[in-house]
């Protein structure tokens, strides 16, 4: 067994273990952390396939951004774990069926022996850049599907904002440009008052003290 095979089994075991812990961990926050571990382990497997761009992008996008927001939400929720776990057995058959279906499909596709010639890993030269290759394919051969996917994401983003955005009437929002453009004369008025005579003022003070 060479180093790569050992690494592959290490990462694969890590993915399976952490995926299992995602659904069995009692604390939702631990589930999220195990999901992070699952992502990082699968990034490791992609790295072994010389797909370093995809591997790092997976860590950057999912671990670095998406899961942070997940963690954010889970941390702030007041979750009653007992209540959540009550229906676990009731939904188990449905979940198991779905999982089996996925496993069957995956074995069907990946285990197809007639196709195996095209699937043996090809080792590339040291100067092979996965990033460059991916960029070339995306922006030449697959430019229309790629742009379509981008537009789809944009539509989804606009829709999400349009659905959740509401302007609150009682919100005390500030107009920053107005705040920045304030001049001194808008805030402070300097008035000139005639000076009072000194002895008059002290005389008044004495009268006050005598009271």
Partner 1 sequence: MMELLQTVHQMGEGLLGAAWLPVWTAVKILAIVLPIMGGVAYYTLAERKVLGFMQVRPGPNRVGYWGLLQPVADGIKLLLKEFIIPSGANKFLFLAAPVMALTPALAAWAVIPFFEGGALANVNAGLLFLLAMTSLGVYGIIIAGWASNSKYAFLGALRSAAQIVSYELAMGFALVCVLLAAQSMNMGEIVEHQQSNYGLFGWYWIPLFPMFVVYFLAGVAETNRAPFDLAEDESAIVAGFHTEYSGMGFALFFLAEYANMILIAALTVVFFLGGYLNPFHGWGALGELTDQVPGLFWMLAKMSIFLFLFLWLRATFPRYRYDQLMRLGWKVFIPLTLIWVVVVAAWMQTSLWVW
**139 near partner 1 (CB under 8 A):** no
Nearest to 61 by CA among 71, 69, 50: 69
| Of the residues 129, 136, 150, 205, which one makes contact with partner 1 according to CB under 8 A | 129
77 or 101: whose CB is closer to partner 1? 77
Q: List, as one string, the DSSP characters of 45-98.
A: HHHHTT-HHHHHHHIIIIIIIIHHHHHHHHHHS---HHHHHHTHHHHHHHHHHH
Residues contacting residue 22 through CB under 8 Å, at least 6 positions apart: 31, 34, 35, 38
Contact 2, 18 (CB under 8 A): no
Contact 21, 34 (CB under 8 A): yes
**36 near partner 1 (CB under 8 A):** yes
Altogether, the residues listed in the chain come to a count of: 211
15 or 37: whose CB is closer to partner 1? 37
Nearest to 128 by CA among 56, 52, 60: 52
As a whole number of angstroms, the distance between CA 142 and CA 135 comes to 10
**130 near partner 1 (CB under 8 A):** yes
Q: What phi, psi does 77 have (nearest 5°)? A: -80, 145
**174 near partner 1 (CB under 8 A):** yes
Hey, which residues between 49 and 88 contact partner 1 (CB under 8 A)? 52-53, 56-57, 59-60, 63-65, 68-69, 71-72, 75-76
Q: Which stretch binds partner 1 (CB under 8 A): 48-56, 161-169, 181-189, 196-204?
A: 48-56
Minimum CB distance to partner 1, residue 37 (Å): 11
68 or 155: whose CB is closer to partner 1? 68
10 or 88: whose CB is closer to partner 1? 10
Minimum CB distance to partner 1, residue 122 (Å): 17
With CB under 8 A, what is the number of residues at the site for partner 1? Answer: 24
15 or 51: whose CB is closer to partner 1? 51
Contact set with partner 1 (CB under 8 A): 27, 29, 33, 36, 52-53, 56-57, 59-60, 63-65, 68-69, 71-72, 75-76, 129-131, 174, 176
């Amino acid at each position: 067994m060479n180093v790569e095979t050992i690494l592959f089994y290490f990462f694969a075991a890590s993915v399976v273990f952490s995926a299992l812990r995602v659904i069995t961990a009692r604390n939702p926050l631990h589930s999220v952390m195990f999901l992070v571990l699952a992502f990082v382990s699968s990034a490791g497997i992609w790295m072994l396939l010389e797909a370093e761009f995809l591997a790092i992008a997976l860590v950057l996008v999912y671990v670095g951004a998406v899961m942070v927001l997940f963690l954010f939400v889970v941390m702030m929720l007041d979750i009653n774990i007992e209540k959540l776990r009550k229906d676990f057995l009731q939904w188990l058959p449905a979940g198991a069926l779905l999982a089996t279906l996925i496993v069957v499909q995956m074995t069907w596709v990946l285990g197809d022996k007639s196709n195996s010639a095209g699937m043996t890993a090809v080792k590339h030269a040291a100067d092979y850049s996965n990033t460059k290759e991916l960029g070339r394919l995306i922006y030449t051969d697959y430019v229309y599907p790629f742009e379509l996917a981008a537009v789809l994401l944009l539509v989804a983003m606009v829709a999400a904002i349009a659905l959740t955005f509401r302007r609150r009437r009682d919100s005390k929002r500030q107009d920053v440009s107005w705040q920045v453009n304030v001049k001194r004369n808008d805030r402070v008025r300097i008035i000139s008052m005639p000076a009072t005579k000194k002895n008059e003022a002290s005389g008044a003070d004495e009268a006050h003290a005598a009271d």
